[in-house]
Amino acid sequence: MARDKHVDGLMEKLLRAIECSLAASQAARETVEEILKRGAETSIFFVGTGADPNPSHGEDVELTPQDREFLRTLSIRPDST
């Protein structure tokens, strides 16, 4: 079966995007490690733009498996697992 040049171009674009993402994850991980070595703490806050402007206090936040994997790549453990 002949290869589609357009698909080949898209595959190359995807590969570059994946490589960029992996490099960024590594850079973020190294930066967090350096911050921790210097005795400081790190925190990440996620804010949704479509969230209820008047949320009830004490509401639990559910992390998706993707959220947990992202935090793990940065060597961050969520408070509740």
Domain boundaries, the chain: 1-42+63-81
- What integer pLDDT is reported at residue 17 of this predicted model? 86
Half-sphere exposure of 5 (CA within 13 A, CB side): 0
Show the low-confidence residues of the chain (pLDDT under 50): 1, 81
Q: Long-range contacts for 25-29 (Cβ within 8 Å, ≥24 apart)?
A: 25/73, 25/74, 28/73, 28/74, 29/73, 29/74, 29/75
**Dist. CA 7–CA 35, nearest whole Å:** 42
- What integer pLDDT is reported at residue 81 of this predicted model? 46
pTM: 0.38
